[in-house]
Amino acid sequence: MRDDLDRSIAILQGERPAPAAGAGYPQDSADAGSSLSEADRTEAILHSARNQRDGVIAALTRIETNAYGRCVDCGGDIPEGRLDARPDAARCVGCQSKHAKRR
Ligand SMILES: [Zn+2]
């Protein structure tokens, strides 16, 4: 899953007009020009792919520390059905909905 995301991010970065290969979070250039909407869309996809990858990496870290499957907020077990649907879930359903509302 992480490899897939890394590949997607690499491809998306390759499509970006700015020479940003290798840079983790490149700065937006002010003179984006006519391809702005295309760049914006790519940027939005990149952003969500990075968020997803961060979640996967965090999940892998939790596996290594034996904290996988435990809610990062309340410490309770995350139901297996939820982990099937969202393998990178960091919170139980209750804490996740509270977390989503906070944002
Ligand atoms: Zn919880």
Q: For residue 47, how far is its CA from the centre of ligand 1 (angstroms)?
A: 26
Torsion of CA 81, 59, 91, 98, to 10 degrees: -130
- Is the CA virtual torsion 59, 63, 67, 69 positive or negative? positive
Q: How confident is the model at residue 32 (pLDDT cuts 50, 70, 90)?
A: very low
Q: For residue 103, how far is its CA from the centre of ligand 1 (angstroms)?
A: 16
pLDDT at 64: 86
Q: For residue 70, how far is its CA from the centre of ligand 1 (angstroms)?
A: 8
Q: For residue 99, how far is its CA from the centre of ligand 1 (angstroms)?
A: 10
Let me know: does 42 contact 15? Beta carbons within 8 Å.
yes
Identify the bridge partners of residue 70 per DSSP, sorted by sequence position.
Answer: 77
pLDDT(21) > 70: no
pTM: 0.55
Q: For residue 95, how far is its CA from the centre of ligand 1 (angstroms)?
A: 4
pLDDT(96) > 50: yes
